[in-house]
């Protein structure tokens, strides 16, 4: 799976997340640091256009990055501060963008959240993901 990581600050936890994704066999790319709105919109747009499968966006609280990403049609960004929330965001909401708070994020917590987000499948709605619905509507 291709996953981009975007942030408004260069923090060591970004490299940790990228390494964890690669360790799990995914293609991970850290985008250039930009303002929270620009980086989140850029990452979300890459998901919406199908250039990447998913994205992880990070800012100080994660709130601004989540809001900016959700303005992109076809994106379902979820701000998650723990593994349970990340699993629920995938299971019930088919979240294709994960928003994280740099203020709250340690490497062990990042690992737990990212692993839960990757390992939890969408429970589905009659077998159709929200992503498939959005793509069909825009076609």
Query: First-to-last CA distance in the chain?
Result: 23
Helix/strand/coil for 115: helix
Measured CA distances, 76 to 10, 23, 48, 97, 138 (Å): 24, 25, 10, 6, 15
Name the residues annotated as catalytic: 59
Distance CA 36, CA 38 (A): 6
Residue pair 58/100 in contact (Cβ under 8 Å)? The answer is yes
Instruction: Please count the CA atoms within 13 angstroms of the CA of 47 that sit on its side-chain side.
Output: 32
């Amino acid at each position: 799976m291709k996953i981009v990581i975007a942030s408004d600050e260069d923090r060591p936890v970004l490299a940790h997340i990228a390494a964890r994704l690669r360790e799990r066999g995914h293609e991970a790319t850290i985008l250039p640091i930009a303002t929270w709105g620009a980086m989140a919109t850029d990452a979300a747009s890459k998901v919406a256009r199908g250039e990447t499968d998913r994205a992880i966006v990070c800012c100080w609280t994660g709130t601004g990055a989540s809001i900016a990403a959700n303005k992109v049609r076809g994106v379902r960004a979820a701000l998650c501060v723990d593994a349970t929330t990340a699993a629920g965001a995938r299971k019930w909401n088919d979240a294709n963008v994960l928003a994280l708070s740099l203020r709250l994020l340690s490497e062990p917590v990042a690992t737990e959240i990212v692993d839960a987000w990757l390992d939890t499948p969408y429970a589905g709605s009659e077998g159709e993901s929200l992503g498939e619905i959005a793509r069909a509507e825009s076609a």
